[in-house]
Amino acid sequence: MPSLRTQIAGFSFDNCLMNAAGVACMTVEELEEVRQSAAGSFVTKTATLEARAGNPEPRYRDVPLGSINSMGLPNQGIDYYLDYLLSLQESQPERTFFLSLVGMSPDETHTLLKKVQNSGFKGITELNLSCPNVPGKPQIAYDFETTERILGEAFGYFDKPLGIKLPPYFDIVHFDQAAEVFNRHPLKFVNCVNSIGNGMYIEDESVVIRPKNGFGGIGGEYIKPTALANVHAFYQRLNPSIQIIGTGGVYTGRDAFEHILCGASMVQIGTALHQQGVEVFERVSLGLKAIMAKKGYEKLEDFKGKLKYLG
């Protein structure tokens, strides 16, 4: 039987699949569902210092080839997620989970990271540099100078395992420039990709979500080619000490297989999890294992990053 076991930042996970931040992770009830599923871990909804209501509804829609959202960073505040993660460390110390966070300003981001640093949290922190939906706030990771400054300052005091959630990039020069920034810092992983920012879906003569006159982050089938390209571009460019988490357009075992082939060590499911519920983890696991068995692969290392080129 092929194994889906993987490691991130030196921590082991029985299964390389987990939720993508934003889906099934706003409340303890949702996180408990993911924890008790076939998923190898979970990540909590990106947290800010204070709880936020987010943007007005409707702010998420499933559409035929994926999803569009402009949630606006609704969350329960960092303490809610940190308290839950600390309690899990007591009851299930053998498992490792991810905490996602970002401040509404660089100062707030540092306040959050210092809070985590000074807490008993032993898991993995994901800094979300790619929220596309807060009116007036650009996606941080599209601004390389700001990204460099935030990471430089953060690693001055933060010494727990830290990775970043990235937006998709669309130009080879941007892959080069972004990788140069990330390679200067002791990041444990980059997670490619967040939703493709500021798309639009129209039904009859109208947009389908209220915030920002219908502009929203696109997920699902639309984004798999972009996600795979970003996973592989960073797999090619980053120091081997910086692992890749692949996110975007995963509905099937084949989709997860492609992310791993591009270099992903862990694969996250967003839109398909929203649409299908936590049973998606079992379905995708079985599909991935079937592909591995057919090809004679016993573990992820047998094909991770081994994408073939023509000529």
Q: Which residues are catalytic?
A: 131
Which among 82, 35, 42 has a CA at the least distance from the CA of 270? 42
Beta carbon nearer to ligand RRO, 120 or 135 = 135
**β partners of residue 267:** 17, 246
- CA 172 to CA 9: how far, in whole Å? 27
Name 217's bridge partners.
Answer: 69
Strand pairing partners for 7?
12
User: What 3 state SS string does 109-176 have?
Assistant: HHHHHHHHHCCCCCCEEEEECCCCCCCCCCCHHHCHHHHHHHHHHHCCCCCCCEEEEECCCCCHHHHH
Query: Annotation-wise, does 67 bind a ligand?
Result: no
End-to-end CA distance of the chain: 33
Give yes or no for residue 67 binding ligand RRO (CB under 6 A): no
Q: C-beta of 310: minimal distance to ligand RRO in Å?
A: 33
Q: Is 39 in the site for ligand RRO (CB under 6 A)?
A: no
Nearer to ligand RRO by Cβ, of 130 and 243: the residue is 130
As a whole number of angstroms, the distance between CA 215 and CA 55 comes to: 12
Q: Restricting to residues 207-226, which ones interact with ligand RRO according to CB under 6 A?
A: 217
Task: Tell whether 15 is in a known binding site.
Answer: no
Rounded to an integer, what distance in angstroms lies between the CA atom of residue 6 and that of residue 10? Answer: 9
Q: Rule CB under 6 A: say whether 243 interacts with ligand RRO.
A: no
Q: Are strands 11-13 and 6-8 parallel, antiparallel or unpaired?
A: antiparallel
Q: Return the range that interacts with ligand RRO (CB under 6 A); candidates 27-35, 119-127, 128-136, 175-183.
A: 128-136
- Of the pair 22, 40, the CB lying nearest ligand RRO is at 22
Q: Give the one residue of 125, 133, 271, 285 binding ligand RRO; rule: CB under 6 A.
A: 133
Give the total of residues touching ligand RRO (CB under 6 A).
15
Kindly state whether residue 199 participates in binding ligand RRO, applying the rule CB under 6 A: no
Residue 44 annotated as binding site: no
Whichever of 46 and 285 has its CB closer to ligand RRO, that residue is 46
Q: How far is the CB of 71 from ligand RRO (least distance, A)?
A: 3
Rule CB under 6 A: say whether 130 interacts with ligand RRO: yes
What Å distances lie between residue 8 and 123, 161, 206, 287, CA to CA?
A: 11, 9, 43, 22
- For binding to ligand RRO (CB under 6 A), which residues are involved? 22, 46, 69-73, 128, 130-133, 194-195, 217
